[in-house]
Structure 1
């Protein structure tokens, strides 16, 4: 993504007669990257589509607030992250007892040979049971192999705090995986 293309998108979005064209261009350039970022946080396709739609609506309504102090994708990424976190918090509140929901997955019995599918289910459940910040940091570091420096810029927090969150998340995931083995 070049800065010129971001500039073109922003110019189109700022003009009333080309705003829709600018938004279509923004979506064609960034929608897939935002989808996969959100998908790693919320887990399912349907939830991801809902969060992405909310994200894009927020972008469309607030593009005039983009100050250009960062790259356009960084601003979009932050909005997507906040929308996903808001979704996850609402989902957690709606769950009558989220711990019981995760406990069912942890009760898988270990077999003589390790079943890869069950192991993946346990890993997903262990990650899903993490506090939101630890879950986000774990997924960015483990799945996307993002550096602490890049995470620090994107999430606007210190590298030390991110390292601590990742360390705690790894310990919790390891403990959950060892529980049934």
Structure 2
């Protein structure tokens, strides 16, 4: 009986679609890991895209059953260190590699803690009044300047700052209540 060629991926690797799903499932964790080392959100987004390209390019090197998060974080760590070494004019340039490695280690340890907090934030954000949710979206997702929002909404920058402060406090309290409920099993309501 003749052997037929195996049409699927080798047993220790993922299919292309399965690998891409694994990458997609880890995007938030990888992004927050990068953000712990790189302070500008735009730069972190650029590095994340570079990391994604490297992950896809090196997917054959990932073995199914091993820790994908650790592998992806190692790639992200190297990309962050390369980025920081290229940034000659930043304060971070004066930090030695050991300090940056230590920061990366701590960020990796805490990466799994992010997901429940993000879920709680999203639940609390959905409970905000429409105007508050719109203000948050304009300011933080779309990064619209306060002066522009104030002109559009016909209010002062100071009034918007106060409103954003109240919204952030409301979200913080809601998140802490929700996380407390998850930990203790309490069914308390949070607007």
TM range (shorter): 0.3 to 0.5
* TM-score, with length taken from structure 2: 0.44
| More helix by percentage | 1
Structure exhibiting the larger radius of gyration computed from Cα positions? 2
